[in-house]
Amino acid sequence: MIFNLFGKKEESNDNHVFVDRAYVSTAAKMNACAELARKEPDRLFICWFADTAVKFKEFFRQQGLEENLIVDVHHLHASKLQNKKPVFVEHYPLHTKEIELIKNWGDEKIIVYSAMDEPLFKHFGSEKLIPLMKMLGMKEEEVIEHAMVSKSIIKGQEKIAQQVNLEQSASSQEEWMRKNIK
């Protein structure tokens, strides 16, 4: 069963808007985003947090890619999305906030790149899962893409929402988790 999680899967008939592509590490996730940017230059990579945008812009510059392919969600407006396909480079900890942002973007599936070493995943014990995945033979650059992963992330986001009384803004996912989880 677990081996069915590895690799690209055919489209399922679920109604999830997001297609999650999870990697073991942030470095592998960033490399995958750069590869997608080279293959599909019509992509716009959206960051929920300013710190992520800074890191991705620097990484894209190092890779010889245009840093304007990266946009902080706070600087996102309709004109930037024209003729572009949106891709998120991280999840926001609250699913409702993600849905609110994309509600008028159409029915297209939106890719979200994640890494198991991110604070959102660490909150649910991913640091214990990473060694297991490696032991099972998962390579750093391999992607986990499955509807079950997307459903699990949404359930996790819903559990986080139950722990937030008054949301405080943050410049990174780590800072958001520290400030908002009771």
Give all strands (DSSP E) within 15-72, no chain letters. 18-23, 43-47, 70-72
Q: Which of 19-23, 24-28, 80-84, 175-179 has the least mean pLDDT?
A: 80-84
Q: Which pLDDT does position 10 carry in this prediction?
A: 47
Give all strands (DSSP E) within 4-89, no chain letters. 18-23, 43-47, 70-72, 85-88
Question: Does residue 1 carry a pLDDT above 50?
Answer: no
CA distances for 8 relative to 4, 15, 76, angstroms? 9, 18, 29
Give the confidence band of 130 by pLDDT, cuts at 50, 70, 90: low
How much is the average pLDDT of 137-156? 86
Is 67 among the domain residues? yes
Q: Which residue has the higher pLDDT, 14 or 42?
A: 42
Is 69 among the domain residues? yes
* CA dist., res. 82 & res. 141, Å (int): 31
Q: Structural domain tally of the chain?
A: 1
Is 142 among the domain residues? yes
Is 6 among the domain residues? no
CATH of the domain at 75: 3.40.50.300
Question: Does residue 7 carry a pLDDT above 80?
Answer: no
Is 163 among the domain residues? yes
How much is the average pLDDT of 7-13? 46
* CA dist., res. 96 & res. 105, Å (int): 15
Give the confidence band of 9 by pLDDT, cuts at 50, 70, 90: very low
- C-beta of residue 48 within 8 angstroms of C-beta of residue 73: yes
How much is the average pLDDT of 20-25? 91
Range(s) of the domain holding residue 44: 14-180
